[in-house]
Structure 1
């Protein structure tokens, strides 16, 4: 009973967060990709879509994995602790992915500007 409550709570919150962050990254990420590939807007759009698909796959995979390793819960405090712990992990993963992507884009843009000068 407690595990089911935790799963449902976790899934509602994590799916909402994944969809919201994915939408934001997709909506505003094309600007950064367009700086890397300015000569081909269609390719920019396709790369942005592929990044979104990879983002969703990674996070869905982690979400399924997190549920599969969940310990048996025996009380409401355990539900809250477990849900918060798993949400913290996926939030850290989302943040790390974002900063890694921004770092890679920054490196590519610096290399591109150095070759143009």
Structure 2
């Protein structure tokens, strides 16, 4: 089972990957939205922002998100690491329910290029 530290490092790697992205992916990541990532197996939530093509984590707290972020992710820590490492395909994980992504309709349309 992944640790909170490993998950935080995975989110940092994801942020770095988004910052280096080009084209459609860069455009999709250019949103300025609040973000939460609830790790169900660790019962921990990372909160922050997706801004200027980077994921900025501002806080980590136990339990589900205390407030509703504009973009909300829910998955296990192992799935987060597998997604960032490229061992788990986001669209398949989302379709099977392993990863839950909730956002407004417009944001989902923009984020689809990240899938």
Q: TM-score normalised to the size of structure 1?
A: 0.34
More helix by share: 1
Q: TM-score normalised to the size of structure 2?
A: 0.34
Larger Rg: 1
Higher RCO (Cα < 8 Å, 6 or more apart): 1
